[in-house]
Structure 1
């Protein structure tokens, strides 16, 4: 029997006066023009972060080993990032960061008693499990290339080893109420194809939603100069990803792609996520502190395959290069942040015109 305590979230507090039971209407995204005030004392050392339903054979669990990391065996090479325990832990932390950034909510689409939910690229499955708990009468399916999800899950949740790049998915067309994606930059050659396929598999009136990092680094007050090592790494990573045909800069295009695919009632919310604890606001400072850990823990994972296969770098060259990148990432005198885009849209009812 499923025990909720087996899937407790990390102890990152929600904003004051808000808990997960609050209605979605209580959440407001930052305006893109909003300015986050930096802390006047950025060098506080105390805040440093140095720190299945589809049959699969055993070979699926015999991961490919490269550079001391492991990668998925099924459809090997499709996803350029690791699937080992350190990366799973980082993914769980990333999930909690976004949960706090979104003030406790897991979705923005106006769901009403959904019967079938699909989570593409489910990762460790935390989102799917929480949705299964929230909607106990709904069938929640999470798909991924790696079987890294827990065995003990709610009875209405299942995980399937599947590749969303495949022409046909393991579900019936016009069958799902809601399809969800989160932080899948670099996972596909053309994310527009995932949107088009989702449109096909949604029932009329069903919703799709994507919650996505924009890989570009932003700064509002001029503290990030052209020589900033973390921004330079971001540009290098983007170049490597484009060479491999795995574009990273998709978040700001999602709304347009949804509309081109035929979705209506398309909405977009944009949030700012500091790269470290430079903000003065306690909530943003906390988010930045955890995000710094998230980024530091992920830098090697984000770099190895892309830089080796996309740029021809050696592992030693990558490790030497990342030394200065890590130092720059933790510099609280640079007030940089990423943008998080949330986009959701509805498949038109039968006979209702679409936007395509």
Structure 2
């Protein structure tokens, strides 16, 4: 739905969730012989202490604002983030954004991670200044001259520039990263130029199934509930995707659009592209499961690393079970 915006307010394009939205049923493949394959000139200047990462349970975590982000920042997680970027790009038909950008001059990417999105946007819009912010300096040393990376906490600090400055603000897969994502939305509204756009692309943490193949004992679904409980204990909610549209409306955004996509958990679909996406999704989930679990379960629930690893054995089996036709909404 497109609305005529009143003077001055910013707009939003939210690729998030409406759980009740009617979606086409994905047809399952009856051939289970498929086996998931493992998918495995500028410089930045930061204080050297930033690289003195926090070590916990065999993984490393950001030093800056230590403890506020619950996912690791080590090489294996960076590789998984790059895989996640490629998965979403294919899911979105090769697009990095949906907002109607024409000639933006300032773009902010909150939680830029490895910086792949910001770098691609820098190539696509060479006259635009792209700023990617993150708590960890895990971005590459070489990138377009119109791109810069800043170590910053979007939840706590000023955004380095005066209000009404950005043409476009982007967030992607930030569930569990903030105490209150509404504050990020409110800040975005303030820092966007009149007529600017905000866009969020977010996973719905819940696992869905349309054909009854996901039983009540499905270990991956049970894991999501356990992680959700730990996240709430730690004040880092995971269930934000289905609330984004309402939160944007409350912040004052207009001309709001929402798209919902299904991303299979593994390669169970018959459709070749969805099968491929499912295969890589499975790899991403298996590669990231420990990263998604350690800090949440250890800090939030008091579990030891050994207890967590034993618990994850059946979860990994469930993720790879093609008899269960599970998917996430994006």
- Shared fold (TM-score, shorter chain, > 0.5): yes
How does 1:274-353 map onto structure 2 within 5 Å? 274-340=264-330
Separation (CA, whole Å) in 1 of partners of 2:211 and 2:148: 46
Match of 1:96 in 2: 86
2:164 to 152, 167, 174: 174
So what's the TM-score if we normalise by structure 2?
0.91
- Kindly report structure 1 stretches of 4+ aligned residues shifted beyond 2 Å: 29-33, 45-56
Give the 3 Å change call, closer, same or farther, for CA 149–32 of structure 1 in structure 2. farther
Match of 2:263 in 1: 273
Separation (CA, whole Å) in 1 of partners of 2:232 and 2:115: 28
Instruction: Tell whether the 8 Å contact from 1:53 to 1:160 is kept in structure 2 after alignment.
Output: no
Higher mean alpha-carbon deviation, 66-75 vs 166-175, is at 166-175
Match of 1:5 in 2: none
Secondary structure of 1:287's match? helix
Paired residue total = 311
Within the alignment, does 1:44 sit opposite 2:36 as a pair?
Answer: no
Match of 1:210 in 2: 200
How does 1:155-304 map onto structure 2 within 5 Å? 155-304=145-294
| RMSD of aligned residue pairs (Cα, Å) | 1.7
Return the offset for 1:32. Answer: 3.6
1:142 to 125, 132, 135: 132
Unaligned runs of 5+ in 1: 1-28, 341-356
Match of 1:118 in 2: 108
Secondary structure of 2:285's match? helix
So what's the TM-score if we normalise by structure 1?
0.85
Return the offset for 1:48. Answer: 5.2
Return the offset for 1:47. Answer: 3.5
- Write out per-residue CA displacement over residues 61-92 of structure 1, whole angstroms, 9 at most, x where no aligned residue: 11111111100000000100000000000000
Separation (CA, whole Å) in 2 of partners of 1:142 and 1:233: 32
- Write out per-residue CA displacement over residues 23-68 of structure 1, whole angstroms, 9 at most, x where no aligned residue: xxxxxx9964210000011x21544559899863111011111111
Unaligned runs of 5+ in 2: 1-16
1:131 to 109, 121, 124: 121
Match of 2:10 in 1: none
Return the offset for 1:180. Answer: 0.2
Separation (CA, whole Å) in 2 of partners of 1:61 and 1:336: 39
Secondary structure of 1:140's match? strand
Instruction: Tell whether the 8 Å contact from 1:64 to 1:71 is kept in structure 2 after alignment.
Output: yes
